[in-house]
Each structure stands twice: as C-alpha cells, then as structure tokens.
Amino acid sequence: MFKNILRKREKGFTLIEMVIVLAIIVVILTFLVPKISAYINQSRGTKATHIAKQIQSVVVQNWIEGKDNMAEKLQEFIDPTAEASIVSSSSDQVSVTFKCDSDNYIVNVQKDSGVLDVQKQ
C-alpha cells in the first residue's frame, strides 16, 4: 500500500516546487533584462559611431581628391541600410544624415580640422 502512494508522488512536480522554480527564474530575469538592454543600447551607439567614421572618411577623401562626387561615394562605401544623404555641403563643412536602426543621426565634418560631430536627431 505504501509503495503505491510513493510511486504516485514520484510521477510529477508539486505545485510548491514549480512556484519556487518560477520565482528563481523571475529573480534571475530581473538582473539580466537591464544588463541586456544596456548592451543593446551600447551596440547601437557603436554601430552609429562606425557609420559616422565611414562618412568622415568618404568626406575627407573627397576633399583630398578634389572631386565633386560625394553623394555617389556615400552610396558606394556606406552601409546601404544607413540611408546616408547629404544635407548641406560647403567648402569647409559637410553635413550628412543617416539612419542607424530606428534612430536618425546627423554628422558634421569640418574641413580644416577634420572634426567629426555626431548628433542624434
């Protein structure tokens, strides 16, 4: 008789065991979710910086070569998903907008110093 009772209890988990396991998972997730979202935001910033430096390279190279095909070079050398386009261009400064993930950025490159200024719109 006792053997039958013990066999029935061994077949599954009790409700308390399930609740304890669920509570442990929730506690672990409360620590992981903020870390994961911070890593995602950091990677987006890194990707935007990388695209901005690509734009800077194209602009400076175009100034050095003295050519007027910056829009073509942007489309050729910049990641197509960035959708880079020239906003304004003068003899000493170029402003380019681009898209990174779901955010829009504007890059200003100054000719004299080569300074790169990236701003999120």
Q: With bands split at pLDDT 50, 70 and 90, how would you rate the model's confidence at 3? A: low
CA distance 102 to 2: 64
Number of domains in the chain: 1
pLDDT value at residue 22? 96
Q: With bands split at pLDDT 50, 70 and 90, how would you rate the model's confidence at 7? A: low
User: What single letter denotes the amino acid at residue 2?
Assistant: F
**What is the domain extent for residue 6?**
2-120
> Per-residue pLDDT tens for 66-118?
877 777 888 787 777 788 888 888 878 888 888 888 888 888 888 877 777 78
In whole numbers, what is the pLDDT of the chain averaged over residues? 83
Q: 37-42 contacts: CB < 8 A, separation 24 or more? A: none
> Per-residue pLDDT tens for 16-58?
999 999 999 999 999 999 999 999 888 888 888 888 888 888 8
Instruction: Please check whether residue 93 is in contact with residue 108, taking contact to mean a CB–CB distance below 8 angstroms.
Output: yes
pLDDT value at residue 5? 59
pTM, 2 dp = 0.66
